[in-house]
Structure 1
């Protein structure tokens, strides 16, 4: 019974409004009401759909980067090319710390610091990489520039 009564009330409101206010006023009230509903929909629902969360994308990019570096480290055990890629990554860290990045890049290629020498050193690569990263960490903590 409730559904029928509420349905009748919904039908009766525009009819009563048309009789009391006239058809012209009722049309303008309908236009205003539909405009408000459309604006609420556009700014409420549509914007959430149009702009997906950037957090998910960033997590995916970080995951891809970690996987890429992991593969490079695994290959660097035997491949000199992968070792040179890791060496360049360490140089980029020092370049980021430096005010003059071009000079730091050139200087580290001409006169490698302790971290780069450890990467180039023969022997157990993973131990050398760990020692090199410890040297980089100390340089970052001290604010060293390479």
Structure 2
């Protein structure tokens, strides 16, 4: 359990008051206040209540889409899971071009087109990926021909 500076300051005031005050009643009031503060702090620690941080602002850096895809391509040289992620990305491109996305998704999984066959092909993965992306580029330029045509 880590003790915070704010808690030390809170308990210091009644503690000093209990020592400095001359009257018996004021000392007991200070001790009572000290015990209430300590009880509240320990109860909060038991519940694991997060205290809001005013001075610190946490910034989470997120990778942009290009860095994420570049890392997936790097891993796809060895990993079949990364290759399947790239296949799904290509299928998403065709789904975006299509009017009926569900039908396109089903059709490409049942009968893959030329781009998907090139990615699945054995050999140099990066070369096959480049060829597959050129096929996708041609399909996009042609106005999204039917993925079943290959």
Q: Same fold (TM over 0.5)?
A: yes
Matched pairs, number? 86
Structure 2 counterpart of 1:87: 87
Structure 1 residue 64, shift from structure 2 partner: 1.4
Segments of 5+ residues of structure 2 without an aligned counterpart are: 1-60
Structure 2 counterpart of 1:73: 73
Structure 1 counterpart of 2:106: 106
Structure 2: distance between partners of 1:112 and 1:76: 19
Structure 2: distance between partners of 1:122 and 1:76: 13
1:45-66 CA distances to partner (integer Å, 9 max, x unpaired)? xxxxxxxxxxxxxxx87x6111
Structure 2 counterpart of 1:33: none
TM-score calculated relative to the size of structure 1: 0.57
TM-score calculated relative to the size of structure 2: 0.55
Tell me, yes or no, if structure 1 residue 122 matches structure 2 residue 122. yes
Structure 1 residue 88, shift from structure 2 partner: 0.2
Structure 2 counterpart of 1:145: 146
Structure 2: distance between partners of 1:66 and 1:94: 19
Structure 1 residue 145, shift from structure 2 partner: 3.0
CA RMSD, 1 decimal: 1.3
